[in-house]
Chain A
Amino acid sequence: MTQQQPSAGPARARGIVTGAIGGFVSGLTGIGGGTVMVPLLTGFLRLPQHRAHATSLVIVIFAAGAALTLYMSRGDVDWPMAAAAAGGGIVGGQIGARAMHRVPELKLRAIFALFLLAVGVRLLVLG
């Protein structure tokens, strides 16, 4: 997919808006913001799906780090559990990223859309 490159000024403004929305949701839900960041990067900033997923993860690192400082200050972090989840996550992240590289653009987009719908339904039903 050839994407039209927006001019530098508006692209910067859109980047800031994207960060503001994604960051806010990240802090509010503890989810890391990627769920909202990826659609913003593809729809608002016109990134191809693979680049959006990869760039979203970089943003997520920093947004999660910022939100984490608040949870730490409230004492809401169980470190042994977090370390265990992180251990699995480091291995899983490699597997998932390599799988992502092999999936074609449109199929990856469809997978992401179905994931969003599943998440939305679960959140609404279970609260």
Chain B
Amino acid sequence: MDDVLGALLIGLAGGIAGGLLGIGGGTLYVPALVLLLGVEQQVAQGISLAAIIPTAISATTANVRRGYVDGRLAATVVPAALVLALVGARIAGELGDDTLSRIFGVVVLYVGGRTLFTVWRRWRRERAAAAPAASAPEGEGEGEVEHGR
């Protein structure tokens, strides 16, 4: 019973973070279930996936009302995501827990560092554009030159 209450609170916290960050909340669900409630890693991932779906639907209803959802793009992305999600889950069943987490940790660190760098660059550019007279040769500090790859 304590575990169910714990799962409810973890769901609430994960839902808030997920709705804000656009991630569904699993990043919080899995470690919280493992570390706080002592659930086994594979089982925690299963609970997380089941909880993510209603959580993401809930946040999406609010986002649709604000016109933030790009439905046409989602329709392009989803089929490939479905196929590769199945492949990934199959591999996850055969790998150790540690390997999975550490590989993903490296990827996430890289992506986070790169995102923070682009924020810092845009902040600097906007500050330069806002500064009086002398500086800012280009207009408005607009058009972020993100290197896509």
Q: Verify A84–B7 contact, CB threshold 8 A.
A: yes
Which of A81, A90, A127 has the most chain B CB atoms closer than 10 A to its own CB?
Answer: A81
Give the contacting residue for B89; candidates A12, A20, A67, A97; CB below 8 A: A67
Q: Verify B25–A1 contact, CB threshold 8 A.
A: no
| A35 CB to nearest B CB, Å | 5
Chain A residue at minimum C-beta to C-beta distance from B68: A54
Q: Verify A12–B76 contact, CB threshold 8 A.
A: yes
Q: Verify A19–B7 contact, CB threshold 8 A.
A: no
Give the contacting residue for B115; candidates A51, A113, A126; CB below 8 A: A113
Given known A90-B58, A92-B14, contact A32–B78 (CB-CB < 8 A) = no
Q: Could you tell me which residues of chain B, from 5 to 29, have a CB within 8 Å of some CB in chain A? A: 5, 7-27, 29
Chain A residue at minimum C-beta to C-beta distance from B11: A88
User: Which residues of chain A are within 8 angstroms of B74 by Cβ–Cβ distance?
Assistant: 55, 58-59
Q: Verify A70–B93 contact, CB threshold 8 A.
A: yes
User: Which residues of chain A are within 8 angstroms of B4 by Cβ–Cβ distance?
Assistant: 80-81, 84
Q: Verify B56–A19 contact, CB threshold 8 A.
A: no
Chain A residue at minimum C-beta to C-beta distance from B12: A88
Chain B residue at minimum C-beta to C-beta distance from A47: B70
Q: Verify A117–B85 contact, CB threshold 8 A.
A: no
In the complex the two chains form, what is the Cα distance from A115 to B56 in whole Å? 18
User: Which residues of chain B are within 8 angstroms of A70 by Cβ–Cβ distance?
Assistant: 86, 89-90, 93
User: Which residues of chain B are within 8 angstroms of A86 by Cβ–Cβ distance?
Assistant: 11, 50-51, 53-55
Q: Verify A71–B46 contact, CB threshold 8 A.
A: yes
Chain B residue at minimum C-beta to C-beta distance from A68: B49
| B50 CB to nearest A CB, Å | 4
| B7 CB to nearest A CB, Å | 4
Which of B20, B25, B78 has the most chain A CB atoms closer than 10 A to its own CB?
Answer: B20
Given known A19-B78, A117-B116, A123-B102, contact A68–B55 (CB-CB < 8 A) = no
Would you mind naming 24 contact pairs between A and B with Cβ atoms under 8 Å apart?
A: A16-B79, A25-B104, A28-B88, A30-B89, A31-B48, A32-B25, A32-B27, A35-B27, A43-B149, A51-B70, A57-B19, A57-B23, A58-B71, A61-B53, A62-B81, A66-B89, A67-B85, A71-B45, A85-B47, A89-B12, A89-B18, A117-B108, A119-B112, A122-B31
Given contacts A38-B21, A61-B53, A115-B27, 20 further A-B contacts (CB under 8 A): A16-B80, A23-B82, A29-B101, A30-B26, A30-B92, A32-B52, A34-B22, A35-B23, A37-B23, A57-B56, A69-B86, A71-B89, A81-B7, A81-B47, A85-B10, A93-B59, A113-B116, A116-B115, A119-B112, A123-B104
